[in-house]
């Protein structure tokens, strides 16, 4: 009888082959990349949500202010322009007119609105213990400090806005008692210039622009014209080549205004975001509002150095800094609307 040898079983393998190990490593790397990318995107979404929610709270403060005073506060745009530029005196006159409405028992000395605006600066700076050339004075009343001033009032000794004085003849007087601020400002989010900033790094102030009525065209505009009927939009410069301008809605055909910051006729039709209200603009997560040269277009022709007319729904004349800006008129960043 023949005995068959049993089949030899193959030896059990002790580990992975090099190819298998490399495959696993690649898969793990891909998964890690996906998870990391998703985590970063989620974190950015949360930070954007914080700013958007904060802007909504500021809007509530503005609406409460309007309900109390009867109108929205001015934005101080163009208040720094000289008397020779008619947009400067017009801006200062708007502030004086609003002060009469907000504080009817306060008397500002002077025969003209220019005199009364100067008296306002003197009263304001002396009330907070700072000279006219510093603090909440002429060179620091601008669209980046407007929200802090009107919604917060006069700062206390710590620098926190604590409302205006209840003395009807001098609402800028220090000490107590004070009115209740329209927005509860966090001192940790403010700097020496009283700039209101989101609780997100890098920090830059919320900029507030208010639409005004163009006396020549009857339209509401985010800007003003000079005696030659030439229009320029409002503008706030945070730093060299980092500035904020109000946004138009769309670049219709034909384009209703020049794309460069050259002056344009005041009677040209322009369609703005929030056309009869206000714009609040935060610089997204990069700390940059916009720059002079758009990233996807050629720079404007000489001698112009910046695009000041920017159309948010199509991104025309945008720089790289514009796309992630957050506002009161968009649900998320501006890029999400395109």
> Residues 22-39: pLDDT tens digits?
676 767 767 666 666 666
Residue 76, C-beta contacts closer than 8 angstroms, at least 6 positions apart: 91, 95, 141, 142, 143, 145, 146, 149
Q: Which of 112, 113, 116, 161 is nearest to 135 (CA)?
A: 161
Q: What is the pLDDT of residue 122?
A: 85
Total residues belonging to the chain: 338
Q: What is the pLDDT of residue 22?
A: 66
Q: What is the pLDDT of residue 302?
A: 44
At 121, is the secondary structure helix, strand, or coil?
helix
At 297, is the secondary structure helix, strand, or coil?
coil
Residues 73 and 146: beta-carbon distance below 8 Å: yes
Q: Which of 61, 57, 56, 93 is nearest to 76 (CA)?
A: 93
* Alpha carbon 338 to chain centroid, angstroms: 20
Q: Give whole-number Cα distances, 261 to 86, 151, 243, in Å.
A: 18, 31, 13
Distance, in Å, from the CA atom of 312 to the CA atom of 162, rounded to the nearest integer, reads: 36
Q: Which of 205, 211, 208, 207 is nearest to 274 (CA)?
A: 211
> Residues 169-184: pLDDT tens digits?
999 887 789 999 999 8
Start-to-end CA span in the chain (Å): 88
Distance, in Å, from the CA atom of 261 to the CA atom of 300, rounded to the nearest integer, reads: 9
Distance, in Å, from the CA atom of 123 to the CA atom of 145, rounded to the nearest integer, reads: 18
Stretches where the chain sits below pLDDT 70 are 1-16, 18-22, 24, 26, 29, 31-43, 127-139, 189-203, 251-262, 293-306
In this structure, what token pair is assigned to residue 296? 């996807």
The structural domains of the chain, with segments of one domain joined by +, span 30-66+197-338, 71-193
Residues 74 and 95: beta-carbon distance below 8 Å: yes
Q: What is the pLDDT of residue 15?
A: 61
């Amino acid at each position: 009888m023949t005995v068959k040898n049993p089949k030899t079983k193959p030896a059990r393998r002790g580990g992975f082959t090099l190819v298998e190990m490399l495959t696993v490593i690649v898969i793990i790397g891909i998964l890690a990349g996906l998870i990391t990318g998703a985590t970063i995107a989620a974190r950015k979404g949360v930070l954007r949500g914080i700013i958007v929610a904060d802007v909504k709270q500021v809007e509530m403060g503005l609406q409460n202010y309007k309900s109390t005073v009867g109108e929205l506060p001015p934005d101080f745009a163009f208040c720094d322009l000289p008397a020779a530029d008619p947009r400067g005196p017009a801006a200062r006159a708007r502030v004086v007119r609003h002060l009469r409405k907000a504080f009817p028992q306060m008397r500002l000395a002077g025969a003209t609105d220019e005199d009364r605006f100067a008296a306002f600066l003197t009263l304001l700076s002396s009330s907070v213990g700072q000279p006219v050339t510093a603090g909440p004075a002429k060179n620091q009343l601008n669209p980046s400090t407007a929200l802090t001033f009107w919604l917060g009032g006069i700062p206390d000794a710590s620098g926190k806005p604590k409302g205006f004085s209840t003395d009807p003849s001098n609402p800028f007087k220090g000490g107590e008692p004070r009115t209740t601020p329209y927005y509860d400002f966090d001192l940790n989010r403010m700097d020496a210039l009283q700039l209101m900033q989101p609780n997100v790094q890098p920090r830059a102030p919320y900029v507030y622009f208010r639409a005004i009525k163009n006396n020549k065209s009857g339209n509401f505009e985010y800007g003003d014209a000079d005696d030659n009927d030439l229009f320029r939009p409002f503008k706030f410069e945070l730093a060299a080549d980092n500035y904020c301008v109000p946004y138009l809605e769309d670049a219709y055909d034909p384009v209703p205004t020049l794309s460069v910051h050259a002056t344009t006729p005041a009677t040209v039709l322009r369609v703005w975001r929030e056309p009869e209200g206000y714009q609040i603009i935060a610089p997204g997560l990069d700390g940059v509002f916009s720059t002079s040269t758009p990233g996807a277009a050629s720079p404007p022709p000489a001698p112009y150095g910046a695009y000041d007319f920017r159309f948010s729904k199509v991104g025309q004349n945008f720089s790289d800094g514009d796309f992630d800006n957050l506002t009161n008129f968009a649900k998320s960043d501006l890029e999400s609307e395109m």
